[in-house]
Structure 1
Amino acid sequence: MLMSSGEKAAKLYYGPSTFRVLRPGQHVICAVTGEVIPLEDLRYWSAEHQEAYASAEVATRRLLGEA
């Protein structure tokens, strides 16, 4: 997905079941793939590691230590 230069990444605090916006933005970056994840599509993250993931598969690989 292409983002315009005016669209900044959000800074989030990831909790166990929800996240809190610390700095507004339209997206976050997947910690494993570098993929842009629009906030409205963000479904997978780690509260322990404070990072976002693009998909369930990517999250599982990361949490199993494979990524």
Structure 2
Amino acid sequence: MLMFNRSQPARLHYMANGYRVLSQGDHVVCAVSGEKIPLDALRYWSNARQEAYASAEIATRAMTGK
């Protein structure tokens, strides 16, 4: 019997208006906080840096360096 771990990180290619799934998973990891972000809750990322962020505040901090 095959068992699947449902808590597997996805690999994504981030684009300006969305992302493309490169390998299946149910979440990505915030580049700053390390927090797991479910794909259905992913709202903030940098296509230039190819990073995901858990919140608008964290994304702003990452992009401004503060």
Taking structure 2 as the reference length, the TM-score comes to: 0.91
Which stretches in structure 2 are left out of the alignment for 5+ residues?
A: none
Distance between the aligned counterparts of 1:37 and 1:57, measured in 2? 15
Secondary structure at 1:8's aligned position in 2?
coil
CA displacement at 1:40 relative to structure 2: 0.1
Give the structure 2 partner of residue 54 of structure 1: 54
Could you list the runs of 4 or more consecutive aligned residues of structure 1 that deviate by over 2 angstroms after TM superposition? none
Q: Distance in 1 between matches of 2:48 and 2:25?
A: 22
Q: How many residues align?
A: 62
3-state DSSP of counterpart to 2:62? helix
Match of 1:64 in 2: 64
Percent identity, aligned pairs only?
A: 55
For 2:36 and 2:63, the matched residues in 1 are separated by 20
Name the counterpart of 2:31. 31
TM-score norm. by structure 1 comes to 0.89
Q: Which runs of 5+ in 1 are unaligned?
A: none
SS at match of 1:62: helix
Q: CA RMSD in A?
A: 1.2
